[in-house]
Amino acid sequence: QTTFHYRTLRCGDEETPLDDSRARGKPMELIAGKKFKLPVWEAVLRTMRPGERARFRCDTKHVVLYPLVSKSLRNIAAGKDPLEGQRHCCSMAQLHEHYALGYPDLDELQKNPQPLIFDIEVLKVEAPGSYQQDPWAMTDEEKLQAVPLIHQEGNKLFRQGKVQEAAAKYYDAIACLKNLQMKEKPASPDWIELDQKITPLLLNYCQCKLQCEEYYEVLDHCSSILNKYEDNVKAYFKRGKAHAAVWNVAEAQADFAKVLDLDPSLRPVVSKELRSLEARLREKDAEDKIRFKGIFSQ
């Protein structure tokens, strides 16, 4: 894998820039041997070492697909699926997608192809097996193989107290499975099997978000789980903690009661949470009395 920065410029006196990875704050990563729509880049990168810089001009016939490549790279830089808009649509919609890319400069370049100048600086070259691909770059088989490994990495980071990093790992694993799930018919056996693999990862992600005090995200995710799996004790418990944290007292009590209905052995843990909630309510009442003391006697 080669990591590099690139600039793409139109040929001409002014050399108008089209793309600049530095401006987006994220370098490009290219895996040798993977299918890529600009083989000229791979050909050049194979001859370069870290720290080297190359500037070269490509004729129109070699860059006719650059607008499509650029759109994918811009989506990646924005944290989107590089194939966004190209799935689950009819042939007419795909034809429209091909000719209307959503970026005026790319639409113009696609209508009127011209030679381009590329300026590339290699930052890092890694041997095969020494890097982990982003989920969007994996094949379906690679995604399935990667999920257990990413899950383990997340668990290890969580045990080390690196909660934000663990959440990112769980998110990556969920993204792999969600991408595969999009290709299955909702509620089909394969879709359900993938969803059941997503659920424990999502619960781990929610635990990270609880510790990061991002309670409303926990409420959303746990509710989505419970809409499908009404007997998920962990989802009720985590949602109860999130409700308690944002002072949704009745909702928290209802969730904790549901936990006890489903698993009475958790009574000591639930009792502890309820006592903590009651103590916080007493503190809040005392603070409110002090804050509003005398306000009505003025």
Same domain, 114 and 144: no
Query: What pLDDT shows up at residue 277?
Result: 94
Same domain, 51 and 167: no
* 264 within domain boundaries: yes
* 134 within domain boundaries: no
Same domain, 164 and 105: no
Name which of 25-34, 167-176, 222-231 the model is least confident about.
25-34
Block residue for tokens 């746990």: 222
Q: Note the pLDDT tens digit of each residue in 250-270.
A: 999 999 999 999 999 999 999
Alpha carbons 183 and 176: distance in angstroms, whole number: 12
Query: What pLDDT shows up at residue 91?
Result: 38
Same domain, 117 and 20: yes
* 240 within domain boundaries: yes
Q: Note the pLDDT tens digit of each residue in 38-81.
A: 788 888 988 899 999 999 999 988 888 899 889 988 887 776 65
Q: Which of 72, 98, 125 is the last residue of a domain?
A: 125
* 45 within domain boundaries: yes
CATH of the domain at 178: 1.25.40.10
* 131 within domain boundaries: no
Same domain, 74 and 175: no
Same domain, 240 and 273: yes
Block residue for tokens 């663990």: 166
Closest alpha carbon to 253 in 276, 283, 223: 276
**Residue 285 predicted with pLDDT over 70:** yes
Same domain, 68 and 155: no
Query: What pLDDT shows up at residue 54?
Result: 94
Query: What pLDDT shows up at residue 134?
Result: 65
Ranges of beta strands (E only) in the chain are 2-10, 17-20, 28-30, 53-58, 116-125
Alpha carbons 139 and 39: distance in angstroms, whole number: 19
Alpha carbons 298 and 294: distance in angstroms, whole number: 7
Containing H/E element for 207?
helix 189-211
* 146 within domain boundaries: yes
Same domain, 146 and 292: yes
As a whole number, the mean pLDDT across the chain is 86
Structure tokens belonging to residue 107: 């639409």
* 193 within domain boundaries: yes
Mean pLDDT computed over 188-203? 96
Quickly state the pLDDT bin for 242 (edges 50, 70, 90): very high
Q: For residue 99, what are the domain limits?
A: 2-125
Structure tokens belonging to residue 226: 């419970």
Q: Considering the entire predicted model, what is its pTM?
A: 0.60
CATH of the domain at 112: 3.10.50.40
Q: Which of 125, 150, 169 is the last residue of a domain?
A: 125
Q: Could you tell me the CA-to-CA distances from 123 to 49, 63, 113, 253 in Å, in that order?
A: 8, 23, 30, 54
Same domain, 56 and 190: no
Q: How many CB atoms sit inside 10 A of residue 72's CB?
A: 19
Domain count, the chain: 2
Alpha carbons 84 and 97: distance in angstroms, whole number: 10
Same domain, 109 and 192: no
DSSP string, 13-37: SS--EEEEHHHHT--EEE-TTS--S
* 132 within domain boundaries: no
Same domain, 151 and 280: yes
Mean pLDDT computed over 276-296? 80
Q: Which of 125, 156, 184 is the last residue of a domain?
A: 125
Same domain, 113 and 251: no
